[in-house]
Amino acid sequence: MIFNTYKKYILNLFSKTLVEVILVFFSLIIIINLFEEINFLRDHDVSGYYPLFLSFLNAPSIFFDILPFIFLISTLLFFIKLINKNELSIFKYTGITNNQILRIIVFFSFVLGIFFIFGFYTFSSKLKSQYLLKKNQFTSDDKYLAVITENGLWIRDEINGTINITNADKINDNLLINVSIVQFDKNFNLLQVIESKEVNIESKKWNINNPSVTKQNTTNNPSNINFNSNFDIEIINNLFSNLSSMSLMQLNKLEKDYNRLGYSTVGIKVYENKIFSVPVYLSIMTLLSGIIMFNSKFRKSKIFNVILGIFLSVIIYYVNYFSGLLGETGKIPIILSVWLPLIILMLISLIGLVRLNEK
């Protein structure tokens, strides 16, 4: 009976603390993002509520990204509450060990992590998609478009009054493979069709090798054509880089489309691994934070512990960033670059568990 009661009490207190921290961070995200949206929309004729609306659409995605640090700080504050009420000593006298307390909140964090993946992330990705659609209304005039389908890469581009519809089977480094470019005037009268096995798109002045140009039923085969476009390889890469607006099913479909196109799927795999690592990440952050509090000599200083939490968050962020750089430069496998910081944090936590019950 005592065992079940203390479990409920710990989970209730941890949940309340977590909700309090979530509300604070979510409010800060809304406020900070609101200033950004106001600045973005300052030259557009929109209602005063529109920046706030955009901020609410974008906030869940940002919130999902900082979840590990929210759990770290929540755990610090949870233990501060226990310490201030001298409840850790009471637990110890009733035979409840430090490991048991940690086990409860770590498991609870893992379960919440699963919910955040399959519940909250789906919700946040849909809002992020709507956010990008609505914000793009103020940044584009529908002259430019690039999509990936089962039939390869399609680009709609308007330049100098000419509308170009480009289709390519694959992307290989800076090259489009098996390319067809259909050109229309502004009234959509056909001007010409350009076909080539290979087009270099390293810059916005495309280099078309050995093209076949069909115009008014006449076909020419020049050795080379320089073709002006609003797209290059960097712009095309950036168009498909915002993966946070896609659900897990959409990410899976996009990965299949990329494979058909010959487009690199590394970015998608890394992002998927980051999503699936969330339960483990939250559990480790909760465990690490708890170990720090049990070993801290400054148990009565709330300011110290909050500053400590922020300091740890910054360090962990840069460890993640450095690991990502190692993956991008090929120093370590790209997937390992996602899990390596978690492995390091887990090892540190396991060391901290030694003799924890004696604290």
Q: What is the pLDDT along the chain (359 residues), one digit of tens a residue?
A: 445 778 888 999 999 999 999 999 999 999 999 998 888 888 777 787 888 898 999 999 999 999 999 999 999 889 888 888 888 778 878 778 888 889 999 999 999 999 999 999 999 999 988 888 787 677 655 555 666 666 678 888 888 778 888 888 888 778 888 888 888 888 888 888 889 888 998 888 899 888 888 887 788 888 888 888 888 887 776 666 677 888 888 888 878 777 766 666 777 888 888 899 999 999 999 998 888 887 765 455 667 766 777 787 788 888 887 887 777 666 778 788 888 888 888 888 888 777 665 55
pLDDT of residue 347: 86
- Going 197 to 202 to 206 to 207, the CA torsion angle's sign is negative
Q: Where are the beta strands (DSSP E) in 136-281?
A: 145-149, 152-159, 162-172, 175-184, 190-200, 205-209, 212-215, 218-220, 224-228
pLDDT of residue 238: 64
Distance CA 50, CA 18 (A): 30
Q: Which two tokens stand for residue 240?
A: 């498909």
Distance CA 133, CA 216 (A): 39
Distance CA 338, CA 323 (A): 7
DSSP state string for 6-22: HHHHHHHHHHHHHHHHH
In 3-state terms, what secondary structure has residue 208? strand
Distance CA 94, CA 308 (A): 30
Cβ–Cβ under 8 Å, residues 121 and 275: yes
- Name the packing angle between helices 278-295 and 67-84 (round to 10°): 30
pLDDT of residue 139: 61
Cβ–Cβ under 8 Å, residues 174 and 262: no
Distance CA 164, CA 193 (A): 10
The conformational region for residue 160 under phi > 0 = left, psi -120 to 50 = alpha, else beta, is left
Distance CA 182, CA 192 (A): 6
Return phi, psi of residue 184, to 5°: -125, 155
Chain-centroid distance of CA 8 in Å reads: 34
